[in-house]
Structure 1
Amino acid sequence: MTGQQDRVAVGAAQEPHDPAPGERAVRDRVRAEATGMRHHQAEAALEAAREEGADPTVVAEWERIEQHLTAHGGPYDPETDAYVQGQLEARSHPSDDGQV
């Protein structure tokens, strides 16, 4: 893929959608790896994922975590990540549109 195609694929992964098979597991692995990281570490992991041409879901989740840590100021913890907690809450109360 070209750089433009990569950006389009990452952008699509960031949009609300019905997750593809295995997509939740990919995001969960990134979150587990990011747990305890500070902003500079997440930023380095994001750059590494981009450089190695990682799956767009991986890059999108690293981008989201890096942005979260920009404002957060502490180490990453999915337990205090409002986005993750919102997903978990939505999964416990599924809607008709199937997006989580």
Structure 2
Amino acid sequence: MIGHPDDAAVEAAHEPHDPAPGERAVRDRVRAEATGMRHHQAEDALRAAREEGAAPAVLAEWERIEEHLTTHGGPYAPEADPYVQGQLAARSTHDALRA
């Protein structure tokens, strides 16, 4: 793993938390970019994001996707990502309770 000056912020982005403004959109953009990628491509994208000094939420999502693809046999697809599906279900439940 390449060191990054905001390693603590990236680790914090991995922890359960209420998303900061724009954080959901950032994760959605990373997921859209990752769709169809295989593990080695996600590794390259993560490396590039680190070298560019990307925001912690971007790095955390690339790290999560890259890790997911280490055990997944095919290309990345949000609809086949258990974390994403769990997140969507939780949002739906949360929104229903607030209504």
TM-score norm. by structure 1 comes to 0.89
**Aligned: 1:72 with 2:72:** yes
Residue in 1 that maps onto 2:86: 86
Q: How many residues align?
A: 93
Please give the secondary structure, in 1, of the residue aligned with 2:94: coil
Q: Identify which of structures 1 and 2 has the higher relative contact order when contacts are C-alpha pairs closer than 8 Å and 6+ apart.
A: 1
Gaps of 5+ in 1: 96-100
What is the distance in 2 between the residues matched to 1:53 and 1:5?
Answer: 9
Residue in 1 that maps onto 2:57: 57
Q: Which letter does structure 1 place at the counterpart of 2:14?
A: Q
Please give the secondary structure, in 2, of the residue aligned with 1:45: helix
Runs of 4+ deviating beyond 4 Å: none
TM-score norm. by structure 2 comes to 0.90
Residue in 2 that maps onto 1:43: 43
Gaps of 5+ in 2: none
Q: Which letter does structure 1 place at the counterpart of 2:12?
A: A
Q: Cα RMSD over matched residues?
A: 1.3
